Amino acid sequence: MSNEIKTITPEEVQQLLNEGKSVSLIDVREDEEVAEGKIPVAKHIRLGTIPERLEEINKDEEHIMICRSGRRSEHACEYLQEAGYEVKNMVGGMMKWEGDVK
């Protein structure tokens, strides 16, 4: 069984948004980091709160996990993938994001 985490680049995420695709972005950073700006359509679920907030994450769609550099979101991906979710990790995280933030 492959536990490899699928990845997506910030550019690819931007492309999906530009095309008007319905994508689920989940930002797992801490509150103070998100306060400095997140991708407008991203939902904020702190990494530490994912286990108790699983019901907010739809199992029928794929989710793109985001953090500052891509490391915490990778942990989130590992956890969610184990739990049966379809996830991708945005490599490079918000440090590499060049699109809109709010």
Q: Which entry of 67, 80, 87, 94 is annotated as an active-site residue?
A: 67
CA distance 45 to 28: 5
Q: In sequence order, what are the residues at sequence separation of 6 or more whose Cβ sits closer than 8 angstroms to the Cβ of residue 18?
A: none
Cα–Cα distance between 5 and 23 in angstroms, integer? 18
Does 67 participate in catalysis according to the annotation?
yes
For 72, phi and psi rounded to 5 degrees? -65, -35
- Going by C-alpha positions, the residue among 100, 98, 102, 44 that lies closest to residue 76 is 44
Provide the annotated active-site residues.
67
